[in-house]
Amino acid sequence: MTEEQEKGERSNLFSKAVKAGKRTYFFDVKSTRASDQYITITESKKKGMSDDGKFFFEKHKIFLYREDFEKFVEGLNDAVQYIKENAPPMTHNHRHDSDVHFDDLGK
């Protein structure tokens, strides 16, 4: 086995993709050389098409280390709970409903 194969097997332990509307979230468990495990969360959103006819994506990534898991999950759960208790009900097309139009933004 080559060093590159060994590194790949050691660093990528688990991956899950979650499609949500126009976005896809990737949850990847990786390992450092010292065998410490961490999570990368990547948001990928289709942004358009390049001149050669291929789609291009905007990506944002965060790294979540094991010592931060509990505080991160607690903060995420608190934020989700707040929205569940305080936000108006979602409509089927809620993401696309808006009183703001692109033509109005420059005015």
What's the mean pLDDT when you consider all of the chain? 82
Collapsing DSSP to helix, strand or coil, 97 comes out as: coil
pTM of the model as a whole: 0.68
pLDDT (0 to 100) of residue 7? 53
Q: How far apart, in whole angstroms, are the C-alpha atoms of residue 37 and residue 41?
A: 13
- Sequence length of the chain is 107
pLDDT (0 to 100) of residue 93? 58
- Structural domains in the chain, CATH included, are 3-89 (3.10.450.700)
